[in-house]
C-alpha cells in the first residue's frame, strides 16, 4: 500500500490533522534511542528462540489463509492498530466490518473524522470506506495478521512475531500516532520494550516507536461493556486534539 499518498488539506487545522503542515515540528524528546533498540533486539531474540523449539501453533497451516491487507502510507496522521482481523471482517474485505462493532459509528460521530467525511461527501463512514482513508491521513493494521473468530483465539506466541512486524511497519511509514484499540494488543508491544508489569491507562503512552506516539483507546467491540458508544466517540475526539497539537519531526 506504499503507493497511497495522504491528501492535501485545505486549511491549517486540516493540515495539522493530516500531519502535513510544514510549520509543525515534533519535539525530540521521546523514549526511543537505546530503549527502543533494546526492545527490538529482545523481539528478534524471542523470534529466534521460538523458531527452533517447535513450540506454539502451526503457522505454516495458516500461511495461505486470507487476511486483511495493511492500509498504510508514509506520513499518516493516525494508524489504527487492532489485535487481529476477525474472520467475518476478512470475509467482507474491510476493517471492523462485523455488525455491532462500534468503530465506524463512533469514528463517524467524532471530530477526528470530520475532514474525511467532508472530503468524501458523506455523513457517516462505513467499512467500505477503509481503503479511501489513507489518502486522508488514516491507516489500518493489526498486531497479528492471522484472522480468528475471536481475538482470544490468538496464540500468545503469535504476538511475538506480530509485534516485530508492527514495529518494522511503524518505523517504515512513520505515522504521527499509532492508536491501539484496547489494551490486549498494546500490552504485548509494551512488554517488548519494558518487561515491568504496569497498569495501562487510556490516552497517550510514554513509549514511542521511532517518531511515532502510541495512543490507547477502548476496544470498539460490542462485547466491551466497560464503555458506551458515547465514551468511544469521546476518546476519538481526544485523539483528534492530540493529532492537532502534536508535532511531526522534519
The total of structural domains in the chain comes to 1
Instruction: Please compute the mean of the pLDDT values over residues 87-109 and round it to a whole number.
Output: 97
Q: Is residue 160 part of a domain?
A: yes
Q: Is residue 58 part of a domain?
A: no
pLDDT given for residue 195 in this prediction: 74
Which of 4-8, 115-119, 188-192 reaches the highest mean pLDDT?
115-119
Judged by average pLDDT, the poorest of 5-19, 92-106, 214-228 is: 5-19
What cell numbers appear for 149 in the block? 473468530
Q: Is residue 181 part of a domain?
A: yes
Instruction: Please compute the mean of the pLDDT values over residues 36-44 and round it to a whole number.
Output: 48
Q: pTM score > 0.85 for this model?
A: no
* Sheet hosting strand 203-209, strand order edge to edge: 138-142, 78-82, 177-181, 212-217, 203-209
Output the CA torsion 230→84→127→121 (10° steps).
Answer: 70
pLDDT given for residue 53 in this prediction: 41
- Measured in whole angstroms, the distance separating CA 225 from the mean position of its chain's CA atoms is 22
Q: Is residue 115 part of a domain?
A: yes
Strands 203-209 and 212-217: antiparallel
145: domain range?
75-245
Q: Is residue 42 part of a domain?
A: no
What's 238's domain CATH number? 3.40.470.10
Cα–Cα distance, 90 to 65 (Å, whole number): 10
Q: Is residue 97 part of a domain?
A: yes
Q: Is residue 50 part of a domain?
A: no
Confidence of residue 208 (pLDDT cuts 50, 70, 90): very high
Q: Is residue 250 part of a domain?
A: no
Amino acid at each position: 500500500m506504499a503507493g497511497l499518498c495522504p491528501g492535501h488539506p485545505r486549511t491549517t487545522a486540516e493540515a495539522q490533522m493530516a500531519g502535513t503542515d510544514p510549520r509543525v515540528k515534533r519535539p525530540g524528546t521521546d523514549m526511543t534511542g537505546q530503549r527502543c533498540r533494546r526492545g527490538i533486539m529482545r523481539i528478534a531474540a524471542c523470534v529466534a528462540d521460538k523458531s527452533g523449539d517447535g513450540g506454539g501453533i502451526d503457522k505454516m497451516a495458516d500461511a495461505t489463509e486470507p487476511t486483511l491487507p495493511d492500509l498504510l502510507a508514509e506520513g499518516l496522521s493516525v494508524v489504527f492498530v487492532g489485535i487481529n482481523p476477525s474472520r467475518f471482517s476478512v470475509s467482507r474485505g474491510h476493517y471492523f466490518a462485523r455488525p455491532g462493532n462500534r468503530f465506524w459509528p463512533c469514528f463517524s460521530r467524532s471530530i477526528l473524522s470530520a475532514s474525511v467525511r467532508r472530503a468524501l461527501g458523506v455523513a457517516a463512514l462505513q467499512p467500505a470506506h477503509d481503503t479511501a482513508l489513507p489518502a486522508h491521513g488514516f491507516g489500518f493494521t493489526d498486531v497479528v495478521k492471522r484472522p480468528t473468530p475471536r481475538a482470544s483465539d490468538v496464540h500468545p506466541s503469535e504476538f511475538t512475531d506480530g509485534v516485530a512486524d508492527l514495529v518494522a511497519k511503524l518505523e517504515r511509514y512513520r505515522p504521527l500516532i499509532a492508536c491501539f484499540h484496547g489494551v490486549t494488543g498494546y500490552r504485548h508491544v509494551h512488554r517488548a520494550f519494558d518487561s515491568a508489569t504496569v497498569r495501562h491507562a487510556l490516552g497517550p503512552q510514554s513509549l514511542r516507536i521511532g517518531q511515532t506516539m502510541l495512543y490507547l483507546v477502548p476496544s470498539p467491540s460490542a462485547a466491551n461493556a466497560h464503555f458506551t458508544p458515547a465514551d468511544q466517540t469521546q476518546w476519538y475526539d481526544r485523539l483528534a486534539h492530540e493529532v492537532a497539537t502534536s508535532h511531526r519531526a522534519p
